[in-house]
Homo-oligomer: A and B are copies of this chain.
Amino acid sequence: MRNQPQKKQHHHGNLREALITAGVGLLNEGGLSALTLRKCAARAGVSHAAPAYHFKGLNGLLTAIAARGYQALAETMIEEREAAATDPHACLVAICNGYLRFAQENEALFDLMFSAKELCYDDPELQRESALARQVLHEGCAPFKHGSAGNEGTEIMIWALVHGFAGILRKRRVRPDHHPANNIRFEDILPHLECV
């Protein structure tokens, strides 16, 4: 019963999850600036001092939410990859599309993960989740080399490319008539990759 409280309790039992969920909701609805300790607490139905206590301050909460973001990013990429054909090219394209879809469907969360907000970059969970997401991209790039830099060059190029796309496709960042056409696809961009 501990994780599914039936009624108002002093010990919440699952406060960490509740606060992270609340934070993600706030991000989706109000953007980065809507994510505060007090609003998170209110949405989770606890005292506004609770998240400060639980996460040892605002940065701790932001860090936990960002870690959850990396987890979701990895899941989205894997989801796309699973749905794709098995040949390396299609897999990599699918992974890239997953990255892009995550960025577009989770604008503010993506903001938090890569923005100017100070996170606790040495937090083990944040490190683990971001490394796992990175690993998905790494595996997708492994069969390829590109130019003299080989595999590593491929991975960095692909990461930059997909990350840059994510940035410039964001709504409100670019005037509509400056928007790159949405129908530019990775398929058009990646054909020069050679299988090792």
Contact = CB atoms under 8 A, between A and B. Distances in A.
Interface stretch (A14-22, A47-55, A166-174): A166-174
B115 A147 contact: no
A182 B184 CA distance: 28
Nearest to A147: B188
Nearest to A192: B192
Given A32-B116, A160-B164, A131 B188 contact: no
Interface residues of A, number: 44
Interface stretch (A57-65, A75-83, A84-92, A151-159): A151-159
Nearest to A31: B116
B167 A121 contact: no
Interface in A175-196: 175, 178, 180-181, 184, 188-189, 191-192
Q: Is the interface of A mostly helix, strand, loop or mixed?
A: helix
A114 B149 contact: no
A169 to B, nearest CB: 9
Copies of this protein in the assembly total: 2
A144 B180 CA distance: 17
A191 to B, nearest CB: 6
B114 A116 contact: no
Contacts of A191: 147
Contacts of A156: 180-181, 184
A165 B160 CA distance: 5
Contacts of A162: 160, 164
A108 interface: yes
Given A131-B178, A159-B168, A160-B167, 17 more contacts: A107-B116, A111-B115, A111-B116, A127-B175, A134-B178, A147-B191, A149-B184, A149-B188, A152-B181, A157-B189, A159-B164, A160-B162, A163-B163, A163-B167, A164-B164, A164-B165, A192-B192
A67 B68 CA distance: 34
